Structure 1
Amino acid sequence: MTEPVLSPDPVSDDLAALPPLGRSRQIMDALARYIQARNLQPGDRLPPERELTAALKVGRSSIREVVSQLSALGIVEARIGSGTYLLRQISAETIYMPLSLSADGLAEALLMTLEVRRGIEIEASIAAARRRTPEDMARMQEALEEMERTHHREGGSGKADFAFHMTVYDAAHNPLFRQLLEQMRDIFERFWDRPFDRPDFAARSFPYHRTLFNAICAGDTAAAAEETRKILDVVEEDIRNMRP
Protein backbone atom coordinates (compact mmCIF):
# COMPACT_ATOMS: atom_id res chain seq x y z
CA MET A 1 0.00 0.00 0.00
CA THR A 2 1.38 3.40 -0.95
CA GLU A 3 2.09 5.51 2.09
CA PRO A 4 -0.27 8.50 2.28
CA VAL A 5 1.25 11.95 2.06
CA LEU A 6 0.66 14.17 5.05
CA SER A 7 -0.74 17.64 4.62
CA PRO A 8 2.02 20.20 4.07
CA ASP A 9 0.48 22.44 6.74
CA PRO A 10 2.52 22.61 9.95
CA VAL A 11 1.48 20.13 12.63
CA SER A 12 1.30 23.00 15.13
CA ASP A 13 -1.70 24.43 13.25
CA ASP A 14 -3.87 21.77 14.89
CA LEU A 15 -1.80 21.05 18.01
CA ALA A 16 -0.83 23.37 20.88
CA ALA A 17 1.46 23.16 23.89
CA LEU A 18 -0.04 21.38 26.90
CA PRO A 19 -0.02 22.32 30.60
CA PRO A 20 2.01 19.99 32.86
CA LEU A 21 -0.78 18.05 34.64
CA GLY A 22 -2.60 14.95 33.36
CA ARG A 23 -0.34 14.66 30.36
CA SER A 24 -1.34 11.20 29.08
CA ARG A 25 -5.02 12.02 28.88
CA GLN A 26 -4.29 15.44 27.41
CA ILE A 27 -2.03 13.98 24.73
CA MET A 28 -4.65 11.39 23.84
CA ASP A 29 -7.34 14.09 23.57
CA ALA A 30 -5.02 16.33 21.54
CA LEU A 31 -4.26 13.53 19.09
CA ALA A 32 -7.96 12.73 18.77
CA ARG A 33 -8.70 16.37 17.96
CA TYR A 34 -5.84 16.43 15.46
CA ILE A 35 -7.10 13.28 13.73
CA GLN A 36 -10.58 14.76 13.54
CA ALA A 37 -9.38 18.18 12.34
CA ARG A 38 -7.22 16.67 9.59
CA ASN A 39 -9.91 14.10 8.73
CA LEU A 40 -7.34 11.31 8.86
CA GLN A 41 -8.60 7.93 7.67
CA PRO A 42 -7.60 4.37 8.64
CA GLY A 43 -4.26 3.71 6.97
CA ASP A 44 -3.06 7.32 7.24
CA ARG A 45 0.21 7.99 9.03
CA LEU A 46 0.37 10.18 12.12
CA PRO A 47 3.02 12.90 12.46
CA PRO A 48 6.48 11.70 13.52
CA GLU A 49 7.28 11.56 17.20
CA ARG A 50 9.63 14.56 17.02
CA GLU A 51 6.87 16.74 15.50
CA LEU A 52 4.39 15.72 18.17
CA THR A 53 6.82 16.46 21.00
CA ALA A 54 7.65 19.86 19.52
CA ALA A 55 4.01 20.83 18.92
CA LEU A 56 2.69 19.63 22.28
CA LYS A 57 5.77 20.62 24.29
CA VAL A 58 6.00 17.23 25.98
CA GLY A 59 8.71 14.60 26.26
CA ARG A 60 9.12 11.70 23.87
CA SER A 61 8.45 9.23 26.68
CA SER A 62 4.98 10.78 27.16
CA ILE A 63 4.23 10.45 23.44
CA ARG A 64 5.42 6.84 23.43
CA GLU A 65 3.25 6.01 26.44
CA VAL A 66 0.13 7.35 24.70
CA VAL A 67 0.97 5.61 21.42
CA SER A 68 1.36 2.38 23.40
CA GLN A 69 -2.07 2.92 25.01
CA LEU A 70 -3.71 3.66 21.66
CA SER A 71 -2.03 0.59 20.16
CA ALA A 72 -3.45 -1.57 22.97
CA LEU A 73 -6.90 -0.17 22.15
CA GLY A 74 -6.45 -1.07 18.48
CA ILE A 75 -6.67 2.58 17.40
CA VAL A 76 -3.15 2.97 15.99
CA GLU A 77 -0.35 0.68 14.91
CA ALA A 78 3.33 1.53 15.38
CA ARG A 79 5.43 0.04 12.56
CA ILE A 80 9.16 -0.17 13.14
CA GLY A 81 11.04 2.01 10.71
CA SER A 82 7.85 3.34 9.12
CA GLY A 83 5.83 5.31 11.67
CA THR A 84 2.51 5.19 13.49
CA TYR A 85 -0.63 4.54 11.46
CA LEU A 86 -4.30 5.07 12.22
CA LEU A 87 -6.31 1.83 12.30
CA ARG A 88 -9.73 3.30 13.04
CA GLN A 89 -11.24 6.75 13.18
CA ILE A 90 -11.67 8.49 16.51
CA SER A 91 -12.76 11.92 17.67
CA ALA A 92 -12.40 14.04 20.77
CA GLU A 93 -15.72 12.57 21.97
CA THR A 94 -14.54 8.95 21.76
CA ILE A 95 -14.54 7.05 25.05
CA TYR A 96 -11.48 4.84 25.55
CA MET A 97 -11.78 1.60 27.49
CA PRO A 98 -8.70 -0.63 27.71
CA LEU A 99 -9.95 -4.20 27.37
CA SER A 100 -8.22 -7.50 27.97
CA LEU A 101 -9.31 -11.11 27.94
CA SER A 102 -7.84 -14.07 29.76
CA ALA A 103 -9.54 -17.42 29.32
CA ASP A 104 -8.82 -21.15 29.38
CA GLY A 105 -8.92 -21.93 25.69
CA LEU A 106 -10.72 -20.69 22.62
CA ALA A 107 -14.21 -21.93 23.54
CA GLU A 108 -14.15 -20.25 26.95
CA ALA A 109 -12.98 -16.98 25.40
CA LEU A 110 -15.76 -17.12 22.81
CA LEU A 111 -18.38 -17.70 25.50
CA MET A 112 -17.08 -14.77 27.53
CA THR A 113 -17.25 -12.39 24.56
CA LEU A 114 -20.66 -13.75 23.67
CA GLU A 115 -22.07 -12.80 27.08
CA VAL A 116 -21.03 -9.20 26.48
CA ARG A 117 -22.20 -9.23 22.88
CA ARG A 118 -25.61 -10.60 23.89
CA GLY A 119 -26.43 -7.68 26.15
CA ILE A 120 -25.18 -5.03 23.74
CA GLU A 121 -26.62 -6.45 20.52
CA ILE A 122 -30.13 -7.11 21.79
CA GLU A 123 -30.40 -3.56 23.11
CA ALA A 124 -28.87 -2.17 19.91
CA SER A 125 -31.39 -4.02 17.74
CA ILE A 126 -34.28 -2.67 19.83
CA ALA A 127 -32.94 0.88 19.54
CA ALA A 128 -32.36 0.41 15.80
CA ALA A 129 -35.96 -0.71 15.27
CA ARG A 130 -37.14 2.47 17.01
CA ARG A 131 -34.79 4.98 15.41
CA ARG A 132 -33.73 3.68 12.00
CA THR A 133 -33.92 6.06 9.08
CA PRO A 134 -34.31 5.27 5.36
CA GLU A 135 -30.56 5.93 4.99
CA ASP A 136 -29.82 3.49 7.82
CA MET A 137 -31.92 0.81 6.16
CA ALA A 138 -30.19 1.34 2.81
CA ARG A 139 -26.77 0.85 4.41
CA MET A 140 -28.03 -2.13 6.39
CA GLN A 141 -29.47 -3.75 3.27
CA GLU A 142 -26.24 -3.24 1.36
CA ALA A 143 -24.23 -4.83 4.19
CA LEU A 144 -26.70 -7.71 4.49
CA GLU A 145 -26.54 -8.46 0.77
CA GLU A 146 -22.74 -8.46 0.89
CA MET A 147 -22.87 -10.83 3.86
CA GLU A 148 -25.24 -13.13 1.98
CA ARG A 149 -23.01 -13.14 -1.12
CA THR A 150 -19.98 -13.97 1.03
CA HIS A 151 -21.86 -16.72 2.84
CA HIS A 152 -23.02 -18.38 -0.37
CA ARG A 153 -19.55 -18.10 -1.88
CA GLU A 154 -17.46 -19.20 1.10
CA GLY A 155 -19.80 -21.03 3.47
CA GLY A 156 -19.19 -18.42 6.17
CA SER A 157 -19.32 -14.65 6.32
CA GLY A 158 -16.58 -13.48 8.71
CA LYS A 159 -15.94 -9.76 8.41
CA ALA A 160 -19.08 -9.24 6.32
CA ASP A 161 -21.14 -10.51 9.26
CA PHE A 162 -19.43 -8.03 11.60
CA ALA A 163 -19.97 -5.21 9.08
CA PHE A 164 -23.70 -5.97 8.97
CA HIS A 165 -23.97 -5.82 12.75
CA MET A 166 -22.12 -2.51 12.75
CA THR A 167 -24.86 -1.04 10.55
CA VAL A 168 -27.38 -2.16 13.17
CA TYR A 169 -25.39 -0.33 15.87
CA ASP A 170 -25.26 2.78 13.70
CA ALA A 171 -29.03 2.63 13.14
CA ALA A 172 -29.47 2.72 16.93
CA HIS A 173 -28.15 6.30 16.86
CA ASN A 174 -26.30 5.84 20.12
CA PRO A 175 -22.55 6.18 19.47
CA LEU A 176 -21.69 4.11 22.53
CA PHE A 177 -22.85 0.92 20.79
CA ARG A 178 -20.30 1.36 17.99
CA GLN A 179 -17.56 2.58 20.33
CA LEU A 180 -17.93 -0.39 22.66
CA LEU A 181 -17.95 -2.92 19.84
CA GLU A 182 -15.10 -1.20 17.99
CA GLN A 183 -12.95 -1.43 21.12
CA MET A 184 -13.77 -5.14 21.37
CA ARG A 185 -13.18 -5.75 17.66
CA ASP A 186 -9.67 -7.11 18.14
CA ILE A 187 -10.89 -9.56 20.78
CA PHE A 188 -13.69 -10.78 18.51
CA GLU A 189 -11.55 -11.02 15.39
CA ARG A 190 -8.73 -12.81 17.20
CA PHE A 191 -11.07 -15.73 17.93
CA TRP A 192 -13.62 -15.48 15.16
CA ASP A 193 -11.42 -15.56 12.05
CA ARG A 194 -11.58 -19.35 11.69
CA PRO A 195 -12.69 -20.68 15.08
CA PHE A 196 -12.01 -24.38 15.57
CA ASP A 197 -10.69 -24.42 11.95
CA ARG A 198 -14.31 -24.33 10.82
CA PRO A 199 -15.04 -21.58 8.24
CA ASP A 200 -18.74 -22.55 8.47
CA PHE A 201 -18.83 -22.01 12.24
CA ALA A 202 -22.26 -20.70 13.37
CA ALA A 203 -23.54 -20.83 9.77
CA ARG A 204 -26.92 -21.94 11.13
CA SER A 205 -27.43 -18.37 12.35
CA PHE A 206 -27.22 -17.04 8.79
CA PRO A 207 -31.00 -16.96 7.97
CA TYR A 208 -31.79 -14.95 11.10
CA HIS A 209 -29.81 -11.97 9.83
CA ARG A 210 -32.38 -11.44 7.09
CA THR A 211 -35.27 -11.77 9.55
CA LEU A 212 -33.49 -9.33 11.90
CA PHE A 213 -33.23 -6.85 9.04
CA ASN A 214 -36.94 -7.29 8.28
CA ALA A 215 -37.88 -6.70 11.93
CA ILE A 216 -35.82 -3.51 12.16
CA CYS A 217 -37.22 -2.32 8.84
CA ALA A 218 -40.76 -2.88 10.19
CA GLY A 219 -39.97 -1.07 13.43
CA ASP A 220 -40.86 -4.19 15.42
CA THR A 221 -38.74 -3.97 18.57
CA ALA A 222 -39.87 -7.29 20.04
CA ALA A 223 -39.13 -9.16 16.83
CA ALA A 224 -35.75 -7.43 16.46
CA ALA A 225 -34.77 -8.54 19.96
CA GLU A 226 -36.01 -12.08 19.31
CA GLU A 227 -34.14 -12.47 16.01
CA THR A 228 -30.94 -11.17 17.60
CA ARG A 229 -31.42 -13.62 20.45
CA LYS A 230 -31.80 -16.46 17.93
CA ILE A 231 -28.51 -15.54 16.26
CA LEU A 232 -26.66 -15.52 19.55
CA ASP A 233 -28.34 -18.71 20.81
CA VAL A 234 -27.16 -20.60 17.72
CA VAL A 235 -23.63 -19.27 18.15
CA GLU A 236 -23.55 -20.28 21.82
CA GLU A 237 -24.88 -23.74 21.03
CA ASP A 238 -22.22 -24.27 18.36
CA ILE A 239 -19.46 -23.16 20.72
CA ARG A 240 -20.60 -25.54 23.44
CA ASN A 241 -20.92 -28.42 20.96
CA MET A 242 -17.35 -27.85 19.72
CA ARG A 243 -15.75 -27.68 23.14
CA PRO A 244 -13.49 -30.64 23.90
Structure 2
Amino acid sequence: MPENKLDLIGSRVSRQTLAQQVEEKIVNLLITNKLKPGDKLPPEMELISMLGVSRPVLREAMSSLESLGIVKRKTRDGTYFTEKISSKPFSTMLSLVNDNIEAIIEARTSLELGLVVFAAEKISAHDLERLQTTIQAIKESVDDDYGEHDLLFHRIIAQSVDNPILQGMVDSLLLTHAKVNVQIKHRERDKTVAHHQAIYDALANRDGQAAFRAMHEHLMFVRNKVLEPNQ
Protein backbone atom coordinates (compact mmCIF):
# COMPACT_ATOMS: atom_id res chain seq x y z
CA MET A 1 0.00 0.00 0.00
CA PRO A 2 1.45 3.47 -0.88
CA GLU A 3 2.70 5.58 2.02
CA ASN A 4 0.26 8.31 1.07
CA LYS A 5 -2.95 6.31 0.80
CA LEU A 6 -4.74 9.30 -0.74
CA ASP A 7 -2.53 8.78 -3.81
CA LEU A 8 -4.08 5.34 -4.21
CA ILE A 9 -7.48 6.82 -4.98
CA GLY A 10 -6.46 10.12 -6.52
CA SER A 11 -8.50 13.28 -6.11
CA ARG A 12 -11.30 13.26 -3.56
CA VAL A 13 -14.85 12.82 -4.75
CA SER A 14 -16.94 15.98 -4.57
CA ARG A 15 -19.82 16.24 -2.09
CA GLN A 16 -22.33 16.04 -4.91
CA THR A 17 -21.02 12.69 -6.12
CA LEU A 18 -23.45 9.79 -6.11
CA ALA A 19 -22.71 6.18 -5.18
CA GLN A 20 -22.20 5.24 -8.84
CA GLN A 21 -19.35 7.72 -9.14
CA VAL A 22 -17.78 6.20 -6.04
CA GLU A 23 -18.02 2.83 -7.78
CA GLU A 24 -16.20 4.24 -10.80
CA LYS A 25 -13.49 5.69 -8.58
CA ILE A 26 -12.93 2.36 -6.89
CA VAL A 27 -12.92 0.37 -10.14
CA ASN A 28 -10.44 2.90 -11.51
CA LEU A 29 -7.93 1.37 -9.09
CA LEU A 30 -8.01 -1.68 -11.37
CA ILE A 31 -7.98 0.26 -14.62
CA THR A 32 -4.86 2.18 -13.52
CA ASN A 33 -3.22 -0.94 -12.04
CA LYS A 34 -2.96 0.58 -8.56
CA LEU A 35 -4.60 -2.60 -7.28
CA LYS A 36 -5.04 -5.96 -8.96
CA PRO A 37 -7.80 -8.61 -8.99
CA GLY A 38 -7.64 -10.45 -5.67
CA ASP A 39 -6.15 -7.49 -3.79
CA LYS A 40 -7.69 -6.25 -0.58
CA LEU A 41 -9.23 -2.77 -0.54
CA PRO A 42 -8.40 -0.28 2.20
CA PRO A 43 -10.66 -0.46 5.30
CA GLU A 44 -13.99 1.33 5.22
CA MET A 45 -12.92 4.31 7.33
CA GLU A 46 -9.85 4.87 5.16
CA LEU A 47 -11.96 4.78 1.99
CA ILE A 48 -14.41 7.26 3.52
CA SER A 49 -11.50 9.59 4.27
CA MET A 50 -9.84 9.11 0.88
CA LEU A 51 -13.04 9.68 -1.08
CA GLY A 52 -14.55 12.31 1.19
CA VAL A 53 -17.96 10.63 1.21
CA SER A 54 -20.35 9.45 3.90
CA ARG A 55 -20.55 5.88 5.15
CA PRO A 56 -24.04 5.30 3.62
CA VAL A 57 -22.80 6.40 0.17
CA LEU A 58 -19.73 4.18 0.38
CA ARG A 59 -21.77 1.20 1.58
CA GLU A 60 -24.27 1.69 -1.24
CA ALA A 61 -21.41 1.73 -3.74
CA MET A 62 -19.86 -1.39 -2.21
CA SER A 63 -23.17 -3.24 -2.29
CA SER A 64 -23.56 -2.43 -5.98
CA LEU A 65 -19.99 -3.54 -6.74
CA GLU A 66 -20.61 -6.77 -4.87
CA SER A 67 -23.83 -7.44 -6.81
CA LEU A 68 -21.87 -6.95 -10.05
CA GLY A 69 -19.29 -9.48 -8.87
CA ILE A 70 -16.52 -6.90 -8.81
CA VAL A 71 -15.77 -7.09 -5.07
CA LYS A 72 -16.34 -9.70 -2.40
CA ARG A 73 -16.77 -8.84 1.26
CA LYS A 74 -15.37 -11.38 3.73
CA THR A 75 -16.64 -11.33 7.31
CA ARG A 76 -13.97 -10.00 9.69
CA ASP A 77 -11.44 -9.89 6.87
CA GLY A 78 -12.39 -6.94 4.69
CA THR A 79 -13.29 -6.35 1.03
CA TYR A 80 -11.39 -7.80 -1.93
CA PHE A 81 -11.51 -7.36 -5.68
CA THR A 82 -12.64 -10.66 -7.18
CA GLU A 83 -10.44 -12.65 -9.55
CA LYS A 84 -13.17 -12.96 -12.22
CA ILE A 85 -12.64 -9.44 -13.55
CA SER A 86 -8.95 -9.87 -14.31
CA SER A 87 -9.46 -10.40 -18.04
CA LYS A 88 -12.15 -7.79 -18.66
CA PRO A 89 -11.44 -4.58 -16.74
CA PHE A 90 -12.78 -2.48 -19.62
CA SER A 91 -16.12 -4.28 -19.58
CA THR A 92 -16.23 -3.83 -15.83
CA MET A 93 -15.79 -0.08 -16.08
CA LEU A 94 -18.32 0.11 -18.92
CA SER A 95 -20.93 -1.66 -16.79
CA LEU A 96 -20.66 1.19 -14.30
CA VAL A 97 -20.97 4.04 -16.81
CA ASN A 98 -23.66 2.39 -18.91
CA ASP A 99 -25.97 5.40 -18.53
CA ASN A 100 -23.30 7.94 -19.44
CA ILE A 101 -24.07 8.15 -23.16
CA GLU A 102 -21.59 10.95 -23.82
CA ALA A 103 -18.73 8.98 -22.24
CA ILE A 104 -19.64 5.90 -24.28
CA ILE A 105 -19.71 7.88 -27.53
CA GLU A 106 -16.36 9.52 -26.77
CA ALA A 107 -14.75 6.17 -25.96
CA ARG A 108 -16.20 4.56 -29.07
CA THR A 109 -14.99 7.46 -31.23
CA SER A 110 -11.45 7.22 -29.87
CA LEU A 111 -11.31 3.49 -30.53
CA GLU A 112 -12.96 3.42 -33.93
CA LEU A 113 -10.83 6.24 -35.35
CA GLY A 114 -7.72 4.24 -34.54
CA LEU A 115 -9.22 0.97 -35.74
CA VAL A 116 -10.25 2.27 -39.14
CA VAL A 117 -6.67 3.38 -39.88
CA PHE A 118 -5.37 -0.13 -39.17
CA ALA A 119 -8.29 -1.62 -41.10
CA ALA A 120 -7.15 0.28 -44.19
CA GLU A 121 -3.96 -1.80 -44.04
CA LYS A 122 -5.42 -5.14 -43.01
CA ILE A 123 -8.98 -5.51 -44.29
CA SER A 124 -9.56 -8.43 -46.67
CA ALA A 125 -11.47 -8.49 -49.93
CA HIS A 126 -14.05 -10.71 -48.25
CA ASP A 127 -14.63 -8.21 -45.46
CA LEU A 128 -14.95 -5.40 -48.00
CA GLU A 129 -17.69 -7.42 -49.70
CA ARG A 130 -19.42 -7.86 -46.35
CA LEU A 131 -19.26 -4.09 -45.73
CA GLN A 132 -20.84 -3.40 -49.10
CA THR A 133 -23.62 -5.88 -48.27
CA THR A 134 -24.46 -3.96 -45.08
CA ILE A 135 -24.56 -0.68 -47.01
CA GLN A 136 -26.99 -2.17 -49.49
CA ALA A 137 -29.13 -3.52 -46.64
CA ILE A 138 -29.33 -0.03 -45.12
CA LYS A 139 -30.39 1.39 -48.49
CA GLU A 140 -33.18 -1.17 -48.73
CA SER A 141 -34.31 -0.89 -45.09
CA VAL A 142 -37.94 -0.08 -44.31
CA ASP A 143 -39.01 2.58 -41.80
CA ASP A 144 -35.37 3.46 -41.09
CA ASP A 145 -34.98 0.17 -39.25
CA TYR A 146 -31.34 -0.48 -40.06
CA GLY A 147 -29.68 -0.57 -36.63
CA GLU A 148 -28.48 -4.18 -36.96
CA HIS A 149 -26.87 -3.50 -40.34
CA ASP A 150 -25.24 -0.35 -38.99
CA LEU A 151 -23.82 -2.30 -36.03
CA LEU A 152 -22.54 -5.08 -38.31
CA PHE A 153 -20.74 -2.52 -40.49
CA HIS A 154 -18.73 -1.28 -37.52
CA ARG A 155 -18.16 -4.77 -36.15
CA ILE A 156 -16.71 -5.99 -39.47
CA ILE A 157 -14.20 -3.13 -39.45
CA ALA A 158 -13.18 -3.95 -35.87
CA GLN A 159 -12.80 -7.67 -36.64
CA SER A 160 -10.75 -6.96 -39.76
CA VAL A 161 -7.92 -5.51 -37.66
CA ASP A 162 -7.50 -8.92 -36.00
CA ASN A 163 -6.30 -7.54 -32.66
CA PRO A 164 -7.83 -9.40 -29.69
CA ILE A 165 -7.18 -6.57 -27.22
CA LEU A 166 -8.84 -3.91 -29.36
CA GLN A 167 -11.55 -6.37 -30.35
CA GLY A 168 -12.54 -6.92 -26.73
CA MET A 169 -12.74 -3.20 -26.09
CA VAL A 170 -14.80 -2.51 -29.19
CA ASP A 171 -17.10 -5.46 -28.55
CA SER A 172 -17.84 -4.07 -25.10
CA LEU A 173 -18.69 -0.66 -26.54
CA LEU A 174 -20.76 -2.00 -29.41
CA LEU A 175 -22.92 -3.85 -26.89
CA THR A 176 -24.17 -0.38 -25.93
CA HIS A 177 -25.17 0.33 -29.55
CA ALA A 178 -28.86 -0.24 -28.84
CA LYS A 179 -28.75 2.19 -25.91
CA VAL A 180 -27.22 4.87 -28.15
CA ASN A 181 -29.47 3.94 -31.06
CA VAL A 182 -32.68 4.54 -29.12
CA GLN A 183 -31.58 8.11 -28.41
CA ILE A 184 -31.78 9.03 -32.09
CA LYS A 185 -35.24 10.43 -32.72
CA HIS A 186 -34.86 11.47 -36.36
CA ARG A 187 -32.83 9.30 -38.71
CA GLU A 188 -31.29 10.29 -42.01
CA ARG A 189 -30.76 7.07 -43.92
CA ASP A 190 -29.27 8.71 -47.00
CA LYS A 191 -26.59 10.42 -44.91
CA THR A 192 -25.80 7.19 -43.09
CA VAL A 193 -25.40 5.41 -46.43
CA ALA A 194 -23.19 8.21 -47.76
CA HIS A 195 -20.98 8.10 -44.65
CA HIS A 196 -20.64 4.32 -44.76
CA GLN A 197 -19.89 4.41 -48.49
CA ALA A 198 -17.15 7.01 -47.93
CA ILE A 199 -15.59 4.81 -45.23
CA TYR A 200 -15.83 1.79 -47.51
CA ASP A 201 -14.22 3.64 -50.44
CA ALA A 202 -11.31 4.76 -48.28
CA LEU A 203 -10.77 1.23 -46.96
CA ALA A 204 -11.00 -0.26 -50.45
CA ASN A 205 -8.33 2.24 -51.58
CA ARG A 206 -6.13 1.40 -48.56
CA ASP A 207 -6.15 5.08 -47.65
CA GLY A 208 -5.87 5.33 -43.87
CA GLN A 209 -6.10 9.12 -43.74
CA ALA A 210 -9.24 9.21 -45.84
CA ALA A 211 -10.73 6.41 -43.73
CA PHE A 212 -9.99 8.39 -40.57
CA ARG A 213 -11.66 11.52 -41.97
CA ALA A 214 -14.72 9.61 -43.20
CA MET A 215 -15.15 7.76 -39.90
CA HIS A 216 -14.72 10.98 -37.92
CA GLU A 217 -17.41 12.70 -39.98
CA HIS A 218 -19.76 9.76 -39.46
CA LEU A 219 -19.21 9.47 -35.70
CA MET A 220 -19.61 13.23 -35.20
CA PHE A 221 -22.88 12.96 -37.12
CA VAL A 222 -24.03 10.22 -34.72
CA ARG A 223 -22.80 12.17 -31.70
CA ASN A 224 -24.76 15.26 -32.71
CA LYS A 225 -27.87 13.19 -33.38
CA VAL A 226 -27.72 11.81 -29.84
CA LEU A 227 -26.45 14.72 -27.78
CA GLU A 228 -27.80 17.67 -29.75
CA PRO A 229 -30.98 16.32 -31.37
CA ASN A 230 -32.38 19.81 -32.05
CA GLN A 231 -29.25 21.12 -33.71
TM range (shorter): 0.5 to 0.7
- Size of the alignment, in residue pairs? 152
Q: TM-score by structure 1 length?
A: 0.52
Q: Are 2:139 and 2:189, in contact at CA under 8 Å, matched by a contact in 1? A: no
State the partner residue of 2:54.
none
- Specify whether residues 241 and 201 from structure 1 end up closer, same or farther in structure 2 by C-alpha distance, changes over 3 A only: farther
State the partner residue of 1:122.
113
- Report the residue type matching 2:183 in the other structure: P
Q: Give deviations 1:103-142, integer Å, cap 9, x for gaps.
A: 5xxxxx3322111111111111100001112222222222
Consecutive unaligned residues in structure 2, runs of 5 or more: 1-36, 39-66, 71-86
Shift of 1:161: 0.5
Q: TM-score by structure 2 length?
A: 0.55
CA distance in 2 between partners of 1:146 and 1:232 (Å):
20
Q: Are 1:202 and 1:235, in contact at CA under 8 Å, matched by a contact in 2? A: no
State the partner residue of 1:232.
219
- Report the residue type matching 1:167 in the other structure: I
State the partner residue of 1:204.
191
Alignment of 1:36-55 (within 5 A): none
Alignment of 1:28-107 (within 5 A): 69=69, 95=88, 97=90, 98=92, 99=94, 100-101=96-97
Q: Are 2:122 and 2:160, in contact at CA under 8 Å, matched by a contact in 1? A: yes
- Report the residue type matching 1:188 in the other structure: H
- Report the residue type matching 1:132 in the other structure: I
Q: Are 2:128 and 2:204, in contact at CA under 8 Å, matched by a contact in 1? A: yes
CA distance in 1 between partners of 2:68 and 2:166 (Å):
24
Q: Are 2:180 and 2:226, in contact at CA under 8 Å, matched by a contact in 1? A: no
- Describe the SS at the equivalent of 2:187: coil
Aligned-pair RMSD on alpha carbons? 3.3
Give the one of 164, 172, 188 matched to 1:183: 172
CA distance in 1 between partners of 2:127 and 2:98 (Å):
36
Q: Give deviations 1:149-208, integer Å, cap 9, x for gaps.
A: 22xx2225212101110001111222233211222234332232x225x26278734311
- Specify whether residues 191 and 230 from structure 1 end up closer, same or farther in structure 2 by C-alpha distance, changes over 3 A only: closer
Q: Are 2:195 and 2:214, in contact at CA under 8 Å, matched by a contact in 1? A: yes
Give the one of 168, 174, 197 matched to 2:163: 174
Q: Are 1:156 and 1:203, in contact at CA under 8 Å, matched by a contact in 2? A: no
- Specify whether residues 129 and 186 from structure 1 end up closer, same or farther in structure 2 by C-alpha distance, changes over 3 A only: closer
Q: Are 1:201 and 1:238, in contact at CA under 8 Å, matched by a contact in 2? A: no
Shift of 1:239: 2.8
CA distance in 2 between partners of 1:179 and 1:202 (Å):
29
